[in-house]
Homo-oligomer: A and B are copies of this chain.
């Protein structure tokens, strides 16, 4: 038979990044295309010990159905720990546990947006979130991203021009794909604009703990006196992504609707994953683990940036990120971006073409995204040298 798909899904393409990842299962390819956290940072020994304890002491709790909001003691612990560490969360906020942070973007759209409503996004932005928005048939409007955050004039112009804007989505620290961090001044300005134009801010902070230089900047959520910020967090980077534990902290009323939405998807998070995060947070030292993790990431980030300078120095411009997983490089105009990516794959190095991250899927850009957390140090060295060769061969220099 011939299949007819819903309008909202008919034109949605599989994530370019995830498709590239599939094609790079070739073990000979050095991949700077992934977004995987560094496996050497996973607290494997802790996880082994805690998992054993859980399955020995409370196997039925770990295996039976749970409530949609999340395992009660974990919800309470997270609220407390987030309040303490980040200073966010009020009497009017609730917290729910989600299956990774992407589900927060999807549920926010599900509960707040009708088809044809608009979500404002940083341009470029994380393709997984962009597709989560698109999967509900909303219109995406991109706002140019600068090294200290979106262009504020453009943001306000967009808000003025479109009365169907419901949500502004921002990844505040070491943004994906750009590595840029939103300045404190712009955070305040964005919150004020959200109040003025009566929209919700969706603040996504998956990389905040991966800071390797500079000072932490308070979350937009710290400013939220009006109850218009939904904050998305995740343990994918701090513990491990395969456990799929994220969370949303936001206004109770909205979170109650998101819970109803989650009931219709996966019903609740895997119980063992939730118990694991609960015991890990309770029994292990989060701060020293983060410090250890930051050491690993600092070394890798610096290695890659030094090699960009030495191997691609004259060919790219970039802003050295203060953390995160990615470096966003603008190729010189005489290096056509897509051709560069193609030639790189021929040399067995995978990078992600920047077009994957644009709000307008048909847009063009000279940027590529490089990931430094997944490859080994050796792979970073070899891969960056190969990218240098590509640039020299293309320009004949």
Number of identical protomers: 2
Q: Mark A128-153, 1 if CB is under 8 A from B, else 0.
A: 10011011000000000000000000
Of the candidate stretches A266-274, A291-299, A300-308, A339-347, the one touching chain B is A266-274
Quote the shortest CB–CB distance from A245 to chain B (angstroms): 9
Quote the shortest CB–CB distance from A371 to chain B (angstroms): 12
Cβ contact within 8 Å between B268 and A6:
no
In the complex, chain B residues whose CB is within 8 Å of the CB of A240 = 63-64
In the complex, chain B residues whose CB is within 8 Å of the CB of A82 = none
Identity of the chain B residue whose Cβ is nearest the Cβ of A64 in the assembled complex: B242
Query: Which A residues between 34 and 83 are near B, CB-CB below 8 angstroms?
Result: 34-37, 39, 42, 44, 47-48, 51-52, 55-56, 59-68
Which one of B14, B22, B61 lies within 8 Å of A263 (CB-CB)? B14
In the complex, chain B residues whose CB is within 8 Å of the CB of A272 = 242-243, 270, 272-273
Quote the shortest CB–CB distance from A238 to chain B (angstroms): 12
Quote the shortest CB–CB distance from A197 to chain B (angstroms): 12
Query: Which A residues between 102 and 132 are near B, CB-CB below 8 angstroms?
Result: 102-103, 105-106, 110-115, 117, 128, 131-132
* Docked CA distance A4–B114 (Å): 10
Identity of the chain B residue whose Cβ is nearest the Cβ of A68 in the assembled complex: B18
Of the candidate stretches A250-258, A315-323, A384-392, the one touching chain B is A250-258
* Docked CA distance A6–B8 (Å): 15
* Docked CA distance A265–B132 (Å): 7
Taking A99-B266, A102-B266 as given, write out 8 further A-B residue pairs in contact, using a Cβ cutoff of 8 Å, ordered by the A residue number: A1-B227, A8-B114, A9-B257, A13-B260, A62-B242, A63-B240, A102-B264, A134-B264
Could you jot down 13 A-B contacts, CB within 8 Å? A3-B254, A4-B112, A5-B257, A12-B260, A14-B263, A35-B65, A39-B64, A44-B55, A100-B266, A100-B267, A110-B135, A131-B264, A244-B269
